[in-house]
A and B are shown apart, each in its own frame.
Chain A
Amino acid sequence: EVQMVESGGGLVKPGGSLRLSCAASGFTFSTYSMTWVRQAPGKGLEWVSSISSSSNYIYYTDSVRGRFTISRDNAKNSLYLQMNSLRAEDTAVYYCARSNFGVVGSYISDNYGMDVWGQGTTVTVSS
């Protein structure tokens, strides 16, 4: 069964750090790009960061660039999101999702959508 399980969420004070993990199984993790998406309480989905299959290409939304770092370990079938300098507005459920983007030069192809999602892990930033 194709599955992804997030962990690492919790309550943290503003300015603090957390490291989210996403354990993948049931597919060849190393051949897929991966993405983090978050959802603030009562709000819609927001793309956070994406990483290509071999970590050659990494992208962040403006609001987290310089504070968050996405990484992956293909040997461990795992995706990570290191979150530093956390703010109240980072409070959300964080989902990892299997994605399928490709990069050719400066062109990014976004095909097949984000086709597998984890159940999410909750991050609360509050004093």
Chain B
Amino acid sequence: QPVLTQPPSVSGAPGQRVTFSCTGSRSNIGAAYDVHWYQQLPGTAPKLLIYDTTNRPSGVPDRFSGSKSGTSASLAITGLQAEDEADYYCQSYDTSLSGYWVFGGGTKLTVV
């Protein structure tokens, strides 16, 4: 089981706002470690979408935003587009015995 918990799927219509949750614990997100988000389009390598919880790399539209509260983090997409259909993964660092870098199980976004 992944250390970070993500819902398996999320769906939304074009133009809508969707959010993705990422639930951790006191040994990772709750320990003040940043959360990073990755987008994986079908058949491609992951791409960094949000780093250090709230920052967008150059080239990522401002439709994508990240936040964190306590032991959880969230990714939001506004103005949903068909090309946003992908898998989204959160990632952080974990300080527990089986720790180091950890990913969530991923959330599949379907644009209906």
Contacts and interface: CB of A to CB of B under 8 A. Distances in A.
Interface in A97-121: 97, 101, 108, 110-120
A95 interface: yes
A59 B52 CA distance: 21
Interface in A57-77: 59, 61-62
Most B CB atoms within 10 A — which of A46, A95, A101, A110? A110
Contact of A117 (B47, B50, B98): B47
B36 A44 contact: no
Interface string B1-45: 010000000000000000000000000000001101010100011
A35 B87 CA distance: 20
Given A44-B2, A113-B51, A59 B57 contact: no
A64 B57 CA distance: 31
A113 B52 CA distance: 7
Contacts of B33: 110
A120 B44 CA distance: 9
Nearest to B35: A113
Contacts, number: 70
A47 interface: yes
Interface residues of A, number: 25
B64 interface: no
B99 to A, nearest CB: 9
A46 to B, nearest CB: 7
A45 interface: yes
A114 B36 contact: yes
A113 B36 contact: yes
27 contacts: A37-B103, A44-B89, A44-B103, A44-B106, A45-B91, A45-B106, A46-B103, A47-B100, A47-B103, A50-B100, A59-B100, A59-B101, A95-B46, A110-B34, A110-B93, A110-B101, A111-B34, A111-B51, A113-B34, A113-B91, A114-B38, A114-B48, A114-B91, A115-B51, A117-B48, A118-B45, A119-B44
